[in-house]
A and B are shown apart, each in its own frame.
Chain A
């Protein structure tokens, strides 16, 4: 069982990293969500996957034998809730970025850090050598 979970975690992490490395913003966010799920699964496995017996103690017993540890499950639940909120936020953010930048290609997102046009960084050479901002940024009056 634990090997199966380990294999699943491995494959999910690989898929998540592959998607997160994409230049497409939307795929990148989905990749991070997949990566988050993989880590949640890892956390669950860290609490040991034992036989699934009901967490009710039979009469006379003082310890729970062969039952899963409930603490990692509670912790994972917290992590899932936080992760869900963050994914909702990031989807909205990605949507806003795509709308206002008019591109979903990460390489074209140079609004915060425009590419310099000077060969080396010299003293100010006049407006002709200002870094080039993408068209969407220039039309929205992003100042230097």
Chain B
């Protein structure tokens, strides 16, 4: 029994309660959040260090013994996800101190954000399938709260659509958990991995397909992504950064954990199907991004497209593929959350998210342009930025397995990604503002936003310049996957 393994749940839960108790005093609430997030970050760091020494941190509640009690199991994969979660949480709370979101802060915004971290932390730490479902529900209800909190009619509309599509995903997940329990009699990951070897391949294939369908809805993969671009753009900016960084990452992590680790012996047909779904996600996501002019929608569609790369790496079903998926996940969600936050800064300075109605920002704020270009090119994968290394490891493995069609689609999508990023650059920064009388707002309080975005960009820069530690870490993590 180790308290450290439970810290991803305990710390955000304590912070959530404390922040909800002091909701009448915004300053106290902010400080409680900072303290909670710094403790969370310290715990995540400790877990990463511990896990990287080769011993996964584990804890079985109620001392029930291995396959019966609910187990928390933090290995390298989970620990790195928790570390990103903590960094995202801290960045969004720092960003919250700026006035990039001009509306007054709702007193329940911070508690709900901690609730989101609680659910995400629990999902990353748990090693029990039903427990995973429960954490998905916690995430869902907090996400719904964050979406609905503004109470504007478009937000309520988006919340409803988000609710309907996600609840179907959750119900499918519950059904899959039930069927898997009925077939194997187990819920613990370790026990499931052993029990799966006893099943006939087509039975296992059916079970895993149902599970995969549920998780693909959650991660926003090709035909099931409609909730993502429909809802994201109605969120307040700091919550949007957190959403972009955490929610799809959760789905992708669950796919990697269950398909790459627990049910790694699933029939090849499942992985083949996942590969084609991934290719379609990449292509159709980026086409959506090429069509839109609202920055937030462009970025939301990019999330769909980039999730495709990660799913492609998982579909390669090899150790190198799993390692590539982890590298891509770490790279992508830092960059994507940062882009959403920078978009919010552009909105604050120009007053609009629609690229056709803004412009001239490079002249007014050249450093914002540099920051945006750095992060955007990193998303595209221009060498030597972090996106290049992430795409390199994925495509290297795809080519090594002779998957030429998937590789070709991935490279084509990179070009289209470049197109839509350059579109934002040309429209928001380069062209003169369409309104001749436009000027920057006089009173802005953006320095916390700068701290958050530059901090995340520094992380991207570190990965760009020294990718080797991350890649080695991911390879070590992948070594442990599928070897239960």
Residues on A lying within 8 angstroms of B by beta carbon are 20, 25, 28, 32, 35-36, 39-40, 42-43, 45-48, 72, 75, 78-79, 82, 85-86, 89-90, 93-94, 96-97, 100-101, 109-113, 121, 123-124, 136-137, 140, 142, 144
Contacts and interface: CB of A to CB of B under 8 A. Distances in A.
Given A78-B130, A140-B153, 6 more contacts: A75-B181, A93-B163, A97-B160, A109-B161, A121-B291, A142-B153
Contacts of B167: 32, 36, 86, 90
B472 interface: no
A124 B156 CA distance: 28
Contacts of B137: 82, 86
Q: How large is the interface on B (under 10, 10 to 19, 20 to 34, 35 or more residues)?
A: 35 or more
Interface of B: 130, 133-134, 137, 140-141, 144, 148, 151-161, 163-164, 167-168, 171, 174-175, 177-179, 181-182, 230-231, 233-234, 291-293, 352, 354, 356-357, 434
Contacts of B152: 140, 142
A48 B357 CA distance: 62
Contacts of A75: 130, 181
Given A25-B160, A75-B130, A43 B153 contact: no
**Interface majority SS (helix, strand, loop, mixed), chain B:** helix
A137 B153 contact: yes
B161 A112 contact: yes
A25 B160 CA distance: 9
A79 B174 CA distance: 8
Interface of A is mostly: helix
Contact of A96 (B144, B156, B181, B293): B156
A39 B153 contact: no
Contact of A39 (B140, B159, B171, B293): B171
Contacts of A112: 154-155, 157-158, 161, 230-231, 233-234
A100 B141 contact: no
B156 A93 contact: yes
Given A112-B231, A137-B154, A142-B154, A72 B160 contact: no
B182 A46 contact: yes
30 contacts: A32-B171, A35-B168, A35-B171, A39-B171, A39-B174, A39-B175, A39-B178, A42-B178, A43-B175, A47-B181, A48-B182, A78-B130, A78-B134, A79-B174, A82-B134, A82-B137, A93-B159, A93-B160, A96-B148, A96-B156, A97-B159, A109-B157, A111-B156, A121-B293, A137-B153, A137-B154, A142-B152, A142-B153, A142-B154, A144-B352
Query: What are the 5 tightest A-B residue pairs by CB atom distance, in nearest-first order?
Result: A46-B182, A124-B356, A43-B178, A111-B154, A112-B158
A86 to B, nearest CB: 7
Nearest to A45: B182
A90 B137 CA distance: 14
B178 to A, nearest CB: 4
Given A43-B174, A144-B354, A136 B153 contact: yes
A82 B131 CA distance: 13
Nearest to B158: A112
Contacts of B233: 112
Contacts of A43: 174-175, 177-178, 181
